[in-house]
Amino acid sequence: MARANQLIFFCFVPVIVGGCASVPPSTDPLPAIEASKTDRLAAPAPGAPASPATAPSPHSADLLFQAIATAGVDYRNGGRNHQTGFDCSGLVAFVFREAYGLDLPHNSKAQSAYGDAVDAQDLQAGDLVFFNTQRTPYSHVGIYLGEGKFIHAPRTGAAVRTDNLRARYWSTRFDGARRIVPAVVAVDYSAPPKKPVVTYP
């Protein structure tokens, strides 16, 4: 499994407790719909500076590695690590804690209040993507990987996997996205005192 996760990592990085139980069981990509909030993830208009897939991500590579390394771990309601399994918000909380030391709440609705809102056409790898999967806004969350793909813990009986944001099921339930990037504070530490030199006569 670790080898498979590494393979997935090398494929994605270069391009680089809310309910989760009503996600479709199939892992096959679903057909994209003609018009939705996520259609703007397609190629940019002529003259646009850069597509979301090629724009540099403000997130650390470690965050993406931590996210992709969870692929294949079993879903478990309330789960928050590789040993116990993950639910959707538990996966997000785990990844951000491991990558940034940031403690996010174990609840997708609460996580939707963190960071800054991001338009669908501006998504970058590492952004959080939210969905209404239980007739409740922000009831499911995943981590965007780039090129229209996101990783998430879908439902009981399934494992952490990637899905297509443009698929009909997800695009019609898309609630928005947030970018959580902890500020980096530079601290100017004074130089340590020099070690005394001992000489002998």
* Residue 82 appears among annotated catalytic residues: no
- pTM (two decimals): 0.71
* Residue 88 appears among annotated catalytic residues: yes
Q: Which CATH architecture has domain 2-23+49-179?
A: Alpha-Beta Complex (3.90)
Within the chain, where are the H helices? 2-12, 61-68, 88-100, 108-111, 168-171
Domain boundaries, the chain: 2-23+49-179
* Residue 59 appears among annotated catalytic residues: no
**Candidate list 20, 59, 106, 140, residue with the active-site label:** 140
**Candidate list 20, 59, 88, 106, residue with the active-site label:** 88
Per-residue pLDDT of the chain (201 residues), as tens digits, is 444 444 444 444 443 344 565 555 544 433 333 344 555 454 343 443 343 444 567 888 999 999 999 999 999 999 999 999 999 999 999 999 999 999 999 999 999 999 999 999 999 999 999 999 999 999 999 999 999 999 999 999 999 999 999 999 999 999 999 999 886 555 566 666 666 666 665
173-196 per-residue burial string, b: 16 or more CB within 10 A, e: under 16: bbbbbbbbbeeeeeeeeeeeeeee
